[in-house]
Amino acid sequence: MMTTTDSKGLLITFEGNEGSGKSTQIDLLQERLEATGRTVIKLREPGGTGLGELLRDILKTPKDGVAIDPVAELLLMNASRAQLVRQVIRPALDRGEVVLVDRFFDSTVVYQGYGRGLDINLVQKIIDVAIGDTRPSLTFLLKVSVSVSEERRATRNSSNPASRDRFEESERAFFERIDQGYESLSTSASDRIKVIDATHDIQTVHATIWNHFETFL
Ligand code: TMP
């Protein structure tokens, strides 16, 4: 299986539950990489293309009277991903750029597989169709407990009620399954997935990520 280390660029993904501080850490890593002269592209899933952002709205914003079955959710997430991989990620890697993505296929394994309870083999097959050989070389899993995630979401949603999305309407047991899913993935893919304690302060978390990155290089 080809990895992105075989092409000129580098694909790095970020994972974690809500409120784990992924976007802050992606911004800090981007800044630091750009300071070393690298060209960096920052993306998010679902989203990152015209089609992907339309699908993101469908997937995240509840619409009156519109149900989304878990299998439909799986396919929509991967429709967004198929477009992102072909339209943006592969060309950027071919140009030798660093691509940072806020969530990638691990989120599907964890949310649609562990969270929604879909068969993991089915989930994996759909992911394979969407990504082909385009796989991350390195994944940072930012870990905070389910309770810390809940507190951080509550704080964010009280200052901005519109930020509460369709996934956040799920019950606590869903988020506990997400947590277990990440735990199990990080054990089975421990070479690629670096688990980071995201309860530390922002700069400490960034320093840990940077150390892993330098070691990886
Ligand atoms: P976020 O951008 O705020 O992290 O929101 C994306 C939401 O979509 C988040 O709740 C996780 C969920 N998600 C999935 O369920 N499956 C996926 O494959 C991806 C990429 C995200």
What single letter denotes the amino acid at residue 87?
A: Q
Residue 133, both tokens: 């050989």
Give residue-wise pLDDT tens across range 126-179.
Answer: 999 999 999 999 999 999 999 989 898 888 888 888 778 899 888 999 999 999
Tens-place pLDDT, residues 62-97 = 999 999 999 999 999 999 999 999 999 999 999 999
> How many residues are given for the chain?
217
Rounded Cα gap, residues 144 and 164, in angstroms: 19
Cα–ligand 1 centroid distance for 23 (angstroms): 13
Q: Is 153 helix (H, G, I), strand (E, B) or coil?
A: helix
> Ligand 1: which residues within 6 Å by Cβ?
44-46, 60, 77, 103, 107-108, 111-112, 167
194 CB-near residues (< 8 Å, 6+ apart):
138, 139, 140, 141, 209, 212
Going from the Cα of 47 to the center of ligand 1, the distance in angstroms, rounded, reads 10
Give pTM, 2 decimals: 0.94
Residue of 60, 81, 111, 156 to test ligand 1 pocket, by largest number of atoms within 8 Å of CB: 111
DSSP string for 61-79: S--TT----HHHHHHHHHH
- Interval between CA 28 and ligand 1 midpoint (Å): 21
In a 13 Å sphere around the CA of 118, the CA atoms on its Cβ side amount to 21
